[in-house]
Amino acid sequence: MSQEQQVLFAGFGGQGVISMGQFLTHLAMHTGKEVSCALSYGAEMRGGTANCLVTISDEEISSPLTENPMTAIIMNLPSLERFEDKIKPNGTLVLNSSMVDRLPQREDVEVLQMPVNMLADQLGTARVANMVLLGAFVEKKGLMDIDQALDYLEVVFKGKKESVIAKNKEAFLVGVEYARKEWK
Amino acid sequence: MQRVLMKGNEAIAEGAIRAGCKGFFGYPITPSSEIAEYMARKMPALGGVFVQAESELAAINMVYGGAATGSRVMTASSGPGISLKQEGISFLAEGELPCLIVDICRGGPGLGGIQPSQADYFQATRGGGHGDYHIIVLAPSSAQEMMDFTMLGFELADKHRSPVMIMAEGTLGNLIEPVVLRDAVTEFVDKPWAITGCRGRQPNIVNTLHMPVELLQTRNQHLTKKYEAIRSEEIRSEEFMTEDADLILVAYGIMARIARKAVINARQLGLKTGLIRPITLWPYPYETLGRAARHCKAMVSVEISTVGQMIEDIRLAAEGKVPVHYIGEIGRTPNPEEITQQLLAIAEREGLR
Amino acid sequence: MKIIAKKPESLTGAKYHYCPGCTHGIIHRLVAEVMDELDIREQTIGICPVGCSVLAYDYFNCDMLEAAHGRAPAIATAIKRLLPDRYLFTYQGDGDLASIGMGEIVHASMRGEKITTIFVNNTLYGMTGGQMAPTTLLGQVTTTSPYGRKAEWEGYPAKMCELLSINEGAAYVCRTAVNNPANIIKTKKAIKKAFQIQAEGLGFTMVEVLSTCPTNWGLSPTDALKWMEEHMIPYYPLGEFKVKGE
């Protein structure tokens, strides 16, 4: 992440889209970067659209907003429809293939697919779907050491029950494993 | 330096606490309520006062009472709530009671919408209440500045015995960024005028009624002098690449950051652009803009508003020397790319390309 | 020479601007005597309203603040919360308290703010020339009820003691009158009790004082007192409506 990077997280409210963005924001701050996380909700919080844009840079961030992020994490089909054309050429689209049943029409972007809901269901709870995807994303982009990331999970989930934290860590590692095998 | 992640709204609340704010009086309204919620959580343990008032009117009048005791006090609201507070703000200005008023703007008029906006510029800078007065208005552009300007706001309020407003967009209230926590303020100015009970002194009176015409005149002349002092001491602005710019953007708050990116983008496309960012919306940096108007070819106001509000101040500053264009919309915060495109179109019209 | 009567220290001695026969002067004096007797002048902060008593800050010899119309209870709330060991009183007329300030007084009483409200009810807006107030009696002629107040047009007169006394936060609510010496003495007792209950921190306290407005009623001072007895007291019964713990 030498120059300014912008990552968009998009999906339904309740899919943990905002938490993913906040986690990446924490992670960036702890590694000494400048970071900014702009939240955008639909009128209704749960079930409506939700997205957040994380900007990470070595220098002061001029704009925390953009029309054209380099990377998008897409958790559902409406989000793909809305943002597919916006991604910068040579950018990356990470798709939750459990909810997005088609591939992007563009050919100038890297596409990473992952059946996020299925993997989360195997863990026994759909609530950790976001962590599975985040684990894979962090691993694939080499954003940071995985053990360090697990430590930050403790910080981010501070105050939550021990079992909840353990479940999220497990989900994160499932994502890491998936990326190592499937996104080589 | 330790940094913590905070939403802009939380940074305001934490900044207020660090500035020694002892009383928060507010009424819930989106997108400002997080400030009240933060204060409700923190104030009891700090020995401060938090009151959820029955109305915006009651809230601003609690600020009036609280400020009269000499304590640092504040309220926070959004457009429709600020409209309701305007009566009280007029009284605070006349009573010369220092306090902080936060406006996390939403779309309007009427009930409008909860989306980001800068459409409260008129009511913030033109003294939205009745009578001959101004209040200092600060426009932060990052979560860090939400904290820093809140602390500065309390300082300026005490220094000039005036209400100070922080005006920020809903986008900024909601923006999560690392914030360096500032040291708590430990030194405060004396307030011998405060209403605290007259033990050992003559009674103090806080009053805004001046019936004989001579009293009213003396009073208003006193305020006018104060506003002149504020104009000479407190105007703040920033310039970015304006020296050789043909096209100068003027934007404040979060729009200043976005416009700065648009300036960088446009420069890469060969268009000589620059940016002036007013930090104090009142007093307004007329001189800085006026100087720029003497060497640039056109100016552009970039606002989150459709009718264009700050553009009136830019025109006043430009004194007709250059055309002043407008880029604005309501309900969402424009992206740098969109602004760049519009700048190219303006440059085309002005023959700058 | 033996002094048998003197100006209370809690009054400045400034000459009142009130009309002849107006009872504001009596009520001011009663509040001041109570402050003297409790020796709280230097710990007391008064809030005056918009209305005839807007200039009360010139008369009370303690820290005073003049409020926007109707907002005195909100202002007193903040001051009391920030300075809990001071005595706070608001001095409000019927337009200020029961009309434009209805929200503030109801909520201050519901929150149980430890303040004392002196509510002066003279059934109309005196300062602005005798317009109808929420407390104007049915049939009463004012400049804005020129045909006499009718329930079907203007609704019914506001009974503030009855209304506020049902709030849990109200610790003392009492209605008195200043139409004769006996009632004046009772009024002073009620004001004293209100300040004492405030000091005990039991909650909101209010004394509604029935007052006259000879000028706008178009009556002589003595006829005004008679009018109060014949018309106001039957509709606004005197007495304690709420005493917490009793």
- Which residues of B have a CB under 8 Å from any CB of C? 22-23, 25, 49, 51, 53-55, 57-59, 61-66, 68-69, 71, 73, 87-88, 91, 195-200, 203-209
Q: Which of residues 60-79 of A touch B (CB under 8 A)?
A: 61-68
The pLDDT of residue C205 is above 60: yes
The pLDDT of residue A59 is above 60: yes
Last residue within a domain, chosen from B182, B211, B234: B234
CA distances from B18 to A118, A149, A180, B46, B266 (A): 47, 32, 47, 11, 40
- B194 and B127 both lie in a single domain: yes
Rounded to a whole number of angstroms, the distance from the CA of B299 to the nearest CA of chain A is 20
Distance, in Å, from the CA atom of B269 to the CA atom of B264, rounded to the nearest integer, reads 9
CA angle A58, A60, A66 (to 5 degrees): 95
Q: Does C120 or A51 have the greater pLDDT score?
A: C120
**Cβ separation of B53 and C74 shorter than 8 Å?**
yes
The pLDDT of residue A1 is above 60: no
Q: How many domains does chain A have?
A: 1
Q: Which of A138, A9, A175 is nearest to A79 (CA)?
A: A9
Last residue within a domain, chosen from B234, B256, B274: B234
**What is the SS3 assignment for B107?**
strand
- B57 and B199 both lie in a single domain: yes
Residue B320 sits in a domain whose CATH number is: 3.40.50.920
Q: Does B92 or A124 have the greater pLDDT score?
A: B92
CA distances from C209 to C54, C193, C206, C220 (A): 17, 14, 10, 20
Query: Which residues in chain B are closer than 8 Å to A34, comparing Cβ atoms?
Result: 178
- B202 and B251 both lie in a single domain: no
Query: Given CB atoms, is C63 within the 8 Å cutoff of chain B?
Result: yes
Mutation choice for B interface testing from C82, C106, C107 by most B CBs within 10 A:
C82
Q: What confidence score (pLDDT) does residue A3 get?
A: 73
Cβ neighbours of A75 (radius 10 Å) = 28
The one-character DSSP state at C11 is B
**Cβ separation of C45 and B58 shorter than 8 Å?**
no
The pLDDT of residue A151 is above 90: no
Last residue within a domain, chosen from B234, B261, B280: B234
**Cβ separation of C42 and B197 shorter than 8 Å?**
yes
Burial class of C245 by CB neighbour count within 10 A (0 to 12, 13 to 18, 19+): exposed
Distance, in Å, from the CA atom of A124 to the CA atom of A119, rounded to the nearest integer, reads 9
Domain boundaries, chain C: 24-243
Residues of chain B above pLDDT 70, percent: 100
Place of tokens 């001189």: B287
The one-character DSSP state at C129 is T
- B242 and B172 both lie in a single domain: no
Structure tokens at B268: 């890469």
- B284 and B316 both lie in a single domain: yes
Distance, in Å, from the CA atom of A149 to the CA atom of A135, rounded to the nearest integer, reads 9
Q: What confidence score (pLDDT) does residue A12 get?
A: 86
CATH of domain C24-243: 3.40.50.970
Residues of chain B above pLDDT 90, percent: 94
Q: How confident is the model at residue A47 (pLDDT cuts 50, 70, 90)?
A: low
Residue B206 has its nearest CB partner, among C42, C65, C81, at: C65
Alpha helices in A31-161 (DSSP H): 77-83, 116-122, 129-141, 146-156
Query: Given CB atoms, is C44 within the 8 Å cutoff of chain B?
Result: yes
Sheet (strand C116-121) strand order: B205-206, C63-66, C44-48, C87-93, C116-121, C204-210, C170-177, C239-243
Place of tokens 């980001």: B116
Distance, in Å, from the CA atom of B106 to the CA atom of B304, rounded to the nearest integer, reads 10
Residues of chain C above pLDDT 90, percent: 98
What range does the domain containing B338 cover?
238-349
**Cβ separation of B197 and C75 shorter than 8 Å?**
no
- B251 and B112 both lie in a single domain: no
The pLDDT of residue B200 is above 80: yes
Residue B54 has its nearest CB partner, among C41, C81, C103, at: C103
pTM for this one?
0.94
Strands B280-282 and B136-138: antiparallel
Mutation choice for A interface testing from B172, B177, B302 by most A CBs within 10 A:
B177
- B194 and B270 both lie in a single domain: no
- B141 and B7 both lie in a single domain: yes
The pLDDT of residue A43 is above 50: no
pLDDT digits (tens, 9 = 90+) for C81-113: 999 999 999 999 999 999 999 999 999 999 999
Torsion, Cα of C147, C149, C154, C159 (10° steps):
170
Mutation choice for C interface testing from B69, B191, B193, B219 by most C CBs within 10 A:
B69
Query: Which residues in chain B are closer than 8 Å to A36, comparing Cβ atoms?
Result: 142, 175-177
Q: What are phi and psi of B142, to 5 degrees?
A: -150, 165
Query: Which residues in chain A are closer than 8 Å to B176, comparing Cβ atoms?
Result: 22, 25, 36-39
Query: Which residues in chain B are closer than 8 Å to C81, comparing Cβ atoms?
Result: 23, 49, 51, 66
Rounded to a whole number of angstroms, the distance from the CA of B39 to the nearest CA of chain A is 20
Q: Are B231 and B286 in contact (CB under 8 A)?
A: no
pLDDT digits (tens, 9 = 90+) for B117-132: 999 999 999 978 999 9
Distance, in Å, from the CA atom of C40 to the CA atom of C42, rounded to the nearest integer, reads 6
Chains B and C touch (3+ CB pairs under 8 A): yes
**Cβ separation of A63 and B260 shorter than 8 Å?**
yes
Residue B51 has its nearest CB partner, among C55, C63, C77, at: C77
Q: Are C73 and C117 in contact (CB under 8 A)?
A: yes
- B171 and B274 both lie in a single domain: no
- B272 and B139 both lie in a single domain: no
What range does the domain containing A80 cover?
5-182
**Cβ separation of B200 and C104 shorter than 8 Å?**
no
Q: What confidence score (pLDDT) does residue A42 get?
A: 53
Q: How many domains does chain B have?
A: 2
CA distances from A82 to A44, A99, A107 (A): 18, 15, 17
CA distances from C75 to A48, A120, A175, B10, B178 (A): 42, 55, 57, 26, 37
**Cβ separation of A39 and B175 shorter than 8 Å?**
yes
Query: Which residues in chain C are closer than 8 Å to B23, comparing Cβ atoms?
Result: 78, 81-82
Q: What is the ipTM of this complex?
A: 0.95
Q: What confidence score (pLDDT) does residue B336 get?
A: 93
Q: Which of residues 109-138 of C touch B (CB under 8 A)?
A: none
pLDDT digits (tens, 9 = 90+) for C126-185: 999 999 999 999 999 999 999 999 999 999 999 999 999 999 999 999 999 999 999 999
**What is the SS3 assignment for C131?**
strand
Q: Give the contacts of A48 (CB within 8 A, at least 6 positions apart).
A: A12, A13, A41, A42
**What is the SS3 assignment for C61?**
coil
pLDDT digits (tens, 9 = 90+) for B238-261: 999 999 999 999 999 999 999 999
Residue A51 sits in a domain whose CATH number is: 3.40.920.10
Q: Which of B334, B328, B351, B341 is nearest to B265 (CA)?
A: B341
Buried (b) or exposed (e) across C111-137, using 16+ Cβ within 10 A? bbbbbbbbbbbbbbbbbeebbbbbbbb
Mean pLDDT confidence for A44-51? 64
**Cβ separation of B260 and A62 shorter than 8 Å?**
yes
Q: How confident is the model at residue A41 (pLDDT cuts 50, 70, 90)?
A: low
For chains A and B, what is the number of CB pairs under 8 angstroms?
Answer: 59
pLDDT digits (tens, 9 = 90+) for B287-319: 999 999 999 999 999 999 999 999 999 999 999
**Cβ separation of B177 and A67 shorter than 8 Å?**
no
The one-character DSSP state at C97 is I
The one-character DSSP state at B300 is E
Chains that touch A (3 or more CB pairs under 8 A): B
